[in-house]
Structure 1
Amino acid sequence: MDIEEILDRIYSLPQASKIRLKQAVTEVSYPKNFILMEGSKVIPYVYFIKKGMVRAYAAAEDRDITFWFGKEGEPVVSMKSYVEKRPGYEYIELLEDCILYRIETESLTDLYQEDIHIANWGRRFAEKELVKTEELIISRQFKTAAECYRDLIRDKPDLLQRVQLGHIASYLGITQVTLSRIRAEMK
């Protein structure tokens, strides 16, 4: 997915502002299984996925708990690092070879100070991330694992071909055996 399309999905910018923002973007590539972000570290970048699939997880004592999947066009950000410049808690693992667009948080902050349109773009970016987090929390509180699975395959149908079932089960907070039962009941 092209960077202009990704930027426009967040907030439409005047051409001059879009050019300034695009000049701060670097394209980077990393292989499958690469850990893009590590918990307890300040992450000085915001990424957008041009090509590939990633997962966010928290490391528990005996296992990883997946709480988010990202694919083409989506941002990858440690909000704690982005907002507070403090270490985040999440790990981001690439589930496929990925091409990403990267923006240094410091450069982005400078652009917010210099260009009101880019500042508004940044506000919309943060708002959209907040809404996604809110939706995730609410779905976890009020929906069963089967309902969350149905939502997942409705909203991201390609996930089943691109993500290991173990990661999907972790995301749903269930075992792979329970996930297999849910899948069998849905057929």
Structure 2
Amino acid sequence: MDFIQHISSKISLTEAEQERINKAFKTERHAKNTILMMPGANSQKATFVEKGLLRTYYTHNDKDITHFFFEEGFVSMNIDSVFFNQPTPYGTEALEDVTLRTIQYRDFMALAEEIPALKDYVFLTSIQMVKLFSDRLYSLQFHTAQERYTTLLNEHPSILMRAPLGHIASYLGITQQTLSVIRSKTK
């Protein structure tokens, strides 16, 4: 998903503003399986996924656990680092070859002073992410493994085709064996 088209679908921008935003964001390309950030890093970067699939993960008791998937059209940044200047517990991995648009958060906020409509974009995007994480927390607390799988299947079916089963299982909070049983029942 083209970055400028994405932003323009959320807020109204002039062509000059679109051009200014496009120039401010860097384009990064990373190969599949590249670790973009290790848990414990401090990154002030905001990232838009233009192409590909990322996952954030953490490690606990030597286990790698998927926290979230970011596919095309998603924005990601480390809240711990950006707002609290603390290391993030999450790492980031490219599950496919990815094209990202990135900017340092402070530079993005300076740009938002020049282009006030960007403040609306930040607000809308923040609310969307809070809603996604709130829904995820609710699901982990109150839904069965089958229900969590069905929700992922209905809301983000491409992730099931693109991400390794081990990452999907850990995202759902289940073992790979349980995921296999659920998938066989769902077909």
TM-score (norm: length of structure 2):
0.91
- CA offset digits 1:138-161 (Å, max 9, x no partner): 111111111010111111112222
Which residue is equivalent to 1:185?
185
Match of 1:75, as an amino acid?
V
Aligned partner of residue 81 in structure 2, secondary structure: helix
Match of 1:112, as an amino acid?
A
Which residue is equivalent to 2:4?
4
Separation in structure 2 between the aligned mates of residue 157 and residue 121 of structure 1, nearest angstrom: 26
Which residue is equivalent to 1:159?
159
Match of 1:18, as an amino acid?
Q
Give the Å deviation of 1:20. Answer: 2.8
Which residue is equivalent to 2:128?
128
Aligned partner of residue 157 in structure 2, secondary structure: coil
Give the Å deviation of 1:124. Answer: 1.9
Structure 2 residue 77 is matched with structure 1 residue 71: no
Which residue is equivalent to 1:86?
86
Which residue is equivalent to 1:172?
172
Deviates more, 1:176-185 or 1:74-83: 74-83
Give the Å deviation of 1:166. Answer: 0.8
TM-score (norm: length of structure 1):
0.91
Which residue is equivalent to 2:42?
42
Match of 1:181, as an amino acid?
V
Match of 2:13, as an amino acid?
P
Separation in structure 2 between the aligned mates of residue 74 and residue 95 of structure 1, nearest angstrom: 15
Separation in structure 2 between the aligned mates of residue 20 and residue 128 of structure 1, nearest angstrom: 25
Separation in structure 1 between the aligned mates of residue 2 and residue 150 of structure 2, nearest angstrom: 29
Give the Å deviation of 1:110. Answer: 1.3
The count of corresponding residues between Structure 1 and Structure 2 is 186
**Percentage of matched positions with identical amino acids:** 33
Give the Å deviation of 1:28. Answer: 0.8
- CA offset digits 1:151-176 (Å, max 9, x no partner): 11111112222111111111111111
Separation in structure 2 between the aligned mates of residue 125 and residue 184 of structure 1, nearest angstrom: 36
Which residue is equivalent to 1:14?
13
- Contact 2:58–2:90, Cα closer than 8 Å, also in 1: yes
Separation in structure 2 between the aligned mates of residue 94 and residue 74 of structure 1, nearest angstrom: 14
Match of 1:14, as an amino acid?
L
- Contact 1:36–1:91, Cα closer than 8 Å, also in 2: yes
Structure 1 segment 107-146 matched on structure 2, within 5 A: 107-146=107-146
Give the Å deviation of 1:38. Answer: 2.2
Separation in structure 1 between the aligned mates of residue 21 and residue 84 of structure 2, nearest angstrom: 21
Q: Which runs of 5+ in 1 are unaligned?
A: none
Match of 2:183, as an amino acid?
R
Give the Å deviation of 1:82. Answer: 2.7
Q: Which runs of 5+ in 2 are unaligned?
A: none
Match of 1:149, as an amino acid?
Y
Aligned partner of residue 8 in structure 1, secondary structure: helix
Match of 1:70, as an amino acid?
F
